[in-house]
Structure 1
Amino acid sequence: MSAQPGSSADSLNGRVAVITGASSGIGEATAEQLAAQGARVAVLARRSERLDSLVDRIEKSGGHALALTVDVTDTAAVQTAADRVADAFGDADLLVNNAGVMLPAPIEERATGQWQQQIDLNITGLMNVIGAFTPQLVRAAEARGVADLVNMSSIAAQNIFPNFAVYSGTKAFVTHLSRHLRVELGPKNVRVSALEPGIVGTELQSHVTDEGALEWLASSKESGMAWLAPKDIADVVGFLAALPSHVNLQQVTIMPTAQPS
């Protein structure tokens, strides 16, 4: 585990990072990256065995990590997790809201269960985490001069993809919410950033059952287009968190070079 150029191994020393959706993909890679830069990391997800394995790798590399098995749609459980982070590490000053799900389907199918699942996790879960940890971010920013709230959105928040209407709507919420929160929390030295990746090779694709979406994903692979890797996104998180305290990357779009939209 090593820090990237521009993100030195001690650039986040003293920081306390919380990452949701940390059992795989972007969340897992981000936890390892932030730990490599010196942050103590609390990793949140539902799959305890994967979290334990992640914590073991981080600690074997000399880092400090805490695994918290939690479903972010459970408001009380998220608050309990926030209290445990504060007890173990002190107030969190770097929150990466990454937990999410992508379930595209034509709107005419009325896949109401999938609609609700995406709204519950991508919106309600995100708000539960923001609600529980914002007091810590504000206190930490007052004490240390800076704190960061990073919300994982998607290029789908901006661009149009057939059959992705509900997912795209949840991510548009994330991006627009982030811009509002930046205005609200920026004066308190809490930087707010929305990251909007294009196609990233993660477990999200394995949840897709819609034939049209599967064909689109397959065609992008067959064209030879190199997808983003979770570590590419993790590197960006590490970079923005290590910036001088007066610099806030409000909205970052991260695309595979060959992805047209």
Structure 2
Amino acid sequence: MSALLTGTPLAGRVAVVSGASSGIGAATATRLAELGAKVAVLARRKDNLDALAESINRNGGTAIAVPVDVTDREAVQAAAQQVADQLGTADLVFNNAGVQLISPITDLRQDDWQRQIDLNVTGVMNVIGAFVPQLTAAAEAGKPADLITTSSIAATRILEKFSVYSGTKAYISHLTRLLRVELGRKNIRVATIEPGMVDTELPDHVTDPDASKLMADLIDQIDVLQSADIAETVAFMAAVPRHVNLTEITILPTAQAI
């Protein structure tokens, strides 16, 4: 995607990006910094985070690396305090950490099920719990405040072997609608982005050989989305006027049929 936004429309914003060690998270952190936001990048892989923060800072942005496992509630609370201490009150949270482990339910890969629930649901909730107070404070101070979470088209499509993953993403999409009832009246924008096929490392985590091949073939056969496409969309969602909330955006490759 060619850059749609120009200048520094996010100047003065403090952004937090979870799942920032690669793919969509890394691209979004980079783009938010280019547009003027100070960015805290969160993930488990410290080396990746350090390299990302260094790259952002070297190119004139402001970023800090905050290594954290989002499934650890106390660690995420400590990370939120670190962000506030080093960058200021967070007013843009891109709640992006997640994992996709596709397999037939009859394979009974319960460790995979639990890992997806832990990261895609519990991890998302831990980030919400840690940063809603800061988003509330930002909104009360008259600033834009954004909570944007990564869901998937799998939240609404009926896809074979995606049962547990799709269930976790359906949770996120519906949670977004519910949170808007409470947080919207506090002037916190709550939104979700539901991408189709994106060329990231996420398919590499798929343990079922048939599902892995299906996703690899799709990447080869059509012009799938790139991480930069999602990053630009998230940036646009955050850059619109404060009274505008783009609540749910589905973004697909033009040639993707399902």
Amino-acid identity (%): 56
State the Cα deviation string for residues 52-89 of structure 1 (Å, max 9, x = none): 10011101111000100000000000000000000111
Residue of structure 1 in register with 2:252 after alignment = 255
Structure 1: which amino acid aligns with 2:90? A
- Which stretch of the first structure deviates more once superposed, 209-218 or 110-119? 209-218
Residue of structure 2 in register with 1:30 after alignment = 28
Q: How many residues align?
A: 258
1:9: how far off?
2.5
Residue of structure 1 in register with 2:160 after alignment = 162
- Aligned partner (choices 5, 8, 14) of residue 7 of structure 1: 5
State the Cα deviation string for residues 180-238 of structure 1 (Å, max 9, x = none): 1112101111001110000001111111121221232133234x311100000000011
> Take 2:63 and 2:218, find their aligned partners in 1: how far apart are those partners?
36
CA contact under 8 A between 2:180 and 2:190: conserved in structure 1? yes
Q: Quick check: 1:225 aligned with 2:222?
A: yes
Structure 2: which amino acid aligns with 1:200? V
> Take 1:143 and 1:131, find their aligned partners in 2: how far apart are those partners?
20
CA contact under 8 A between 1:145 and 1:189: conserved in structure 2? no
Q: Matches of residues 27-176 of structure 1 in structure 2 within 5 Å?
A: 27-176=25-174
Unaligned runs of 5+ in 1: none
Structure 1: which amino acid aligns with 2:20? A
> Take 2:235 and 2:20, find their aligned partners in 1: how far apart are those partners?
15
CA contact under 8 A between 1:149 and 1:191: conserved in structure 2? yes
Normalised by the length of structure 1, the TM-score is 0.96
CA contact under 8 A between 2:151 and 2:170: conserved in structure 1? yes
Unaligned runs of 5+ in 2: none
- Which stretch of the first structure deviates more once superposed, 232-241 or 206-215? 206-215
SS in 2 for 1:90: coil
- Aligned partner (choices 220, 229, 234) of residue 231 of structure 2: 234
